[in-house]
Amino acid sequence: MFSKTNKFSKIENQLEDVRSDVRKNLRLFEGILIGRHFEDVPIVASRFCGDCSVAHNLASIKSIEKIFGINSSLETIKLRKLMLYAHLIRSHSLNLFSLISAKKAGSEGAFRDENFLVWPIRDFANELLRIIGGRTIHPIASEVGGFRKVPALKEIQSLIARSESVLENVLTMAEFFRRFELPNFSRPTEYVCLESKGEYVIYDGNLVSNKGLHILAADFEKDFSQLNRPWEIVKRLKVDGRTSYMIGAIARIHNQREKLSAKSLEYLESLSFETPDFNSFHNIFYQVVEMIHVAEESLRLLNELAHSDLKLALVGKHEIKEGAASVAVESSRGTLFYHMDIDGNGYVKNVNIITPTAQFLPHLEDDLAEFIGKQGATLSEKEKKWAIQALIQAHDPCTFSLIL
């Protein structure tokens, strides 16, 4: 039994075979980039996903800069991190409130007061993206080599003034989510994310896992291979010699727990989850923890940028070079991979994009099979339906992407 969880997906449940059957037109939209000049790529790539437009924009820029041998300024990197922080805040809040709250209550109008609480959080993220990226969705200011326009000092100061109240709103929201009781479930798994010494990584790092994986992000195509099933029209990913794996907030926090900000770590410890925690339902709580972390980090970076020369982030001259490169960034749902191949005139020869949803679909299926196999018989049809929907939503599958 199962019912649709959104307009794109359906789950078919059999104890021996649980699989996702994505009902949407063939995607593979990265082909649109082939033949385009590199200057067009960041803007076009950002259109591949309405929710993850920032991650696509920055991943495409990173891949081209790597080919051209461009070393970004510290100011450029800080501005890009702030864009990703804004993306995480907005995306997590959408999943937590608009989707999970409504399903938990069984009504779109439930938790009205708490839903109003999320608007200033979302508005702050949108304003951060508008000031730095040029737009709230599909950024246009971020380019290969830096930014075509940088924020004025008064704009940075206005964001600082708002960020402290936003942090308080996030903390209030975190207390609200404590009331949610989710199924007791555990299935040992592998958590994969980017990692680097000294910081909680969102923008750049090596690929690591709790089971010993440690490779350069540039080498992901050597260890990860695409898998297409006969009945599907979507991309999937598998890791050579490994089972399914999980990405996103729950993976990032498990692999980088010691790098969390003070308030986010305090909230995480107050939840008293087991360590390691293999309950995928809990990913929504880890999204809350991550929102606290990036809210605190946003305030810290904004204060640093208020005393920086942002003109150093403006696009400079760079030489077009032929070559190929693979990079990764962390989006709200997990690691996003980009491989770009460019000719000597700056035109794209080939491109491969691996989205987070393509990676965790096998993990979702394995979780569903385990949960239904062990607990399905003890639940009523209504309870079972809600639990399956909640497990799917906890994985946070993207329904905005043109590439799956």
pLDDT the model gives residue 398: 82
In whole angstroms, what is the distance from residue 88 CA to residue 80 CA?
13
362-394 tens-digit pLDDT: 899 999 999 999 998 899 998 898 899 889 989
Closest to 287 measured CA to CA, from 197, 403, 393: 393
- Set out the domains of the chain in order of their start, with CATH numbers: 39-395 (1.10.645.10)
Classify residue 112 as exposed, middle or buried by CB count within 10 Å of its CB (0-12, 13-18, 19+).
exposed
Q: Between the CA of residue 354 and those of 293, 340, 401, what are the distances in Å?
A: 26, 12, 11
What residues pair up with 190 in beta bridges, in sequence order? 245
65-100 tens-digit pLDDT: 999 999 999 999 999 999 999 999 999 998 887 666
**Sequence-ordered list of residues with C-beta below 8 angstroms from that of 11, at least 6 positions apart, any chain:** 2, 5, 18, 19, 20, 21, 368, 388, 392
pLDDT the model gives residue 389: 87
126-145 tens-digit pLDDT: 999 999 999 999 999 999 99
CA dihedral 77, 301, 210, 204 (to 10 degrees): 0
For residues 22-41, give the mean pLDDT.
77
pLDDT the model gives residue 224: 65
User: Strands (DSSP E) along 222-282, which ranges?
Assistant: 224-226, 237-239, 245-246
Judge if the upstream peptide bond of residue 276 is cis by omega within 30 degrees of 0. Answer: yes
208-227 tens-digit pLDDT: 999 998 999 988 877 665 54
pLDDT band with cut points at 50, 70 and 90 for residue 10: very low
Closest to 293 measured CA to CA, from 330, 348, 243, 325: 330
Cβ atoms 366, 256 nearer than 8 A: no
Q: Give the β-pairing of 237-239 and 224-226.
A: antiparallel
How many CA atoms within 13 Å lie on the side-chain side of 267? Answer: 25
